[in-house]
Amino acid sequence: MSSRSSAPAGPEQRALPDAAHGELRLHVADLFRTALQSVAPQANGDMVHIERPKAAAHGDFSCNLAMQLARVTKRAPRELAQALIAALPSSDWLASAEIAGPGFINLRLHSAALQRVVPQVFAGAAAYGRSNIGGAMPVLVEFVSANPTGPLHVGHGRQGALGAALCQLLEATGYQVSREFYYNDAGVQIDNLARSVWARARELRGLAVEFPADGYHGQYIRDIAADYLEGKPVPDAEALSGDIDDLAALRRYAVSYLRREQDIDLQAFGVQFDRYFLESSLYSDGSVTAVVSALGAAGKTYEHEGALWLRTTEYGDDKDRVMRKSDGSFTYFVPDVAYHVSKWQRGFRAAINIMGSDHFGSTARVRAGLQALSLGIPADYPRYLLHKMVTVMRGGEEVKISKRAGSYVTLRDLVDEVGRDAVRFFLVSRKADTEFVFDVDLAQSQTEENPVFYVQYAHARICSVLNQWDGDLAQLSGVDLSSLTGEREVALLRRLQDYPLTIATAALDCAPHLVAFYLRELAAEFHGYYNAERFLVDDLTVRFARLALACATRQVLRNGLAVLGVSAPEKM
């Protein structure tokens, strides 16, 4: 799911803008393209790739062009590397170029070149790291989309954290983002909800009842039943009928009640949506019927054993799928196809769905249905970001249930216990497709092992230094930075330069965890610098240079935390 070929902008490759790469990386790439014209004029300049070495001891940048050319020219990589270095144009920024290993070229820049990032951060401020990859292209991101049958669980929380961060990343890279929540308010699970509330309502009235075998348990069902009997209104619900056996009224009331509860949970989590889309509307406005009719007219369906089937095997599925069961009800993926037709018809040529990995099977069916309609929808539409579930641990043991929900840990439980910031940061701190263990004890600790505390503490430390200085921040603009040549200072300067590319890559790869990784690394660079050097030294040139570097670091920490929906406290 992280392939660049399925970037938000569509199946075509979108080149990263210059602002994302940074002027230093682009400058070095241009030097190698010039050298390439001399050493191998027949080669394509797109072969030039400038990377950051994994080990700082290897320099500021590295280039594997000689290794790539060896396949084209049939010459030894080290010989080509030597020829490329000899052909590099002179540059005031490039200090040295050395051959390493079988033919890699490691490059070191002059300190003055590295120091340029500080005024760039000052100039960009909150916009530093932003770019225009998307060109204002509309993209719809659907996430959370929980069934209105119970409180949000921590898996929904992971979706919420991933989706909110991804939307921020897409907006930071020039896309016009719409956030959408799809309510599955139709189908068997809603019938089970209504019957569960009905059963609890009868119990509260002292009436005999057998609880439904597939019913929902948990205190929240009893709460809904009690409020219904007391006549407590909820938003979007019709006037209460007062009839305990009116299943239709109970159904509407329960769905509205749980939608309100989920909205409260999302507000506590700091996650907002532009639109809530109801599955039931696809039936009421005829969208589901229209899709089924269109697929039939296209010859993509057939009847078998009283059911209507879709020829999904024509589109890569392992077997054909039932659309309409023999009892006349539609299977769950049929309204999903209609829903995605709606997305396309609303003008969203890019759509991203964030879902649990247990929905993997539905991805092929939805895409097959869309292809069978012949509407010109790309084969990889929508793009899916699938995430694995979350295990909550406390005191070395798994936490499995909530007092309120009964069978699982709710998002609200977690937010109430460890705070929004910790939950938001933790839930995006790993790749979406990896299992995640949420350690409550770690999230509550104030140690460097707690990643959100570690990053926020770096920001607070910088604020403390600036408060001790008690000067005008405007004085730091345009200061002499030539003294920033120490090993830790150079490492921090490099890390600041990497932020725009990190944001661009995280957006295109739908990988918010890259921002969390980056922030942890940036915080580590600063903490090491803070512990090794003093800022308020007597030498004013050194003092102002170090304060400027600290101030730029604070800005980038603040920018990155904002992307993840995490606060940047000034005191801790």
pLDDT tens sequence across 40-70: 999 888 889 999 888 888 899 999 999 999 9
pLDDT computed for residue 401 by the predictor: 76
pLDDT category at 21 given cuts 50, 70, 90 is confident
Q: How far is the CA of 343 from the CAs of 50, 352, 381, in angstroms?
A: 38, 11, 10
- Among 401, 336, 427, 410, smallest CA distance to 145 is for 336
d(CA 298, CA 370): 12
Question: Taking Cα atoms as reference points, which of 468, 450, 472 lies closest to residue 523?
Answer: 450
pLDDT > 70: percent of the chain: 95
397-399 and 390-394 as β-strands: parallel, antiparallel, unpaired? Answer: antiparallel
Amino acid 2: pLDDT: 34
DSSP assignments along 288-299, one per residue: HHHHHHHHHHTT
> What is the per-residue pLDDT for 458?
98
pLDDT at 268 over 60: yes
Nearest-angstrom CA–CA distance, 88 and 65: 13
d(CA 332, CA 345): 21
Mean pLDDT in residue range 418-446? 97
- Please state whether beta strands 390-394 and 94-100 pair in parallel, antiparallel, or not at all (unpaired): unpaired
Q: How is residue 47 annotated by DSSP?
A: G
Helix (H, G, I), strand (E, B) or coil at 83: helix
User: What residues form DSSP beta bridges with 386?
Assistant: 355
pTM (whole model) above 0.75: yes
Tell me if 178 sits within 8 A of 275, measured CB to CB: yes
Distance CA 113, CA 120 (A): 12
Q: How far apart are CA 224 and CA 239, in angstroms?
A: 15
Q: How far is the C-alpha of 326 from the C-alpha of 334, rounded, in Å?
A: 15
For range 177-192, the mean pLDDT: 93
Domains of the chain and CATH, by start:
18-114 (3.30.1360.70), 188-269 (no CATH), 448-563 (1.10.730.10)
Q: What's the whole-number average pLDDT of the chain?
A: 92
Beta-bridged to residue 275, according to DSSP, are: 180
Q: What are phi and psi of 244, to 5 degrees?
A: -65, -25
Q: What is the pLDDT of residues 339-388, one digit of tens each?
A: 999 999 999 999 999 999 988 888 999 999 999 999 999 999 999 999 99
Q: What is the pLDDT of residue 18?
A: 64
Question: Are 568 and 561 contacting, i.e. CB atoms less than 8 angstroms apart?
Answer: yes
From CA 76, how far away is CA 425, in angstroms rounded? 47
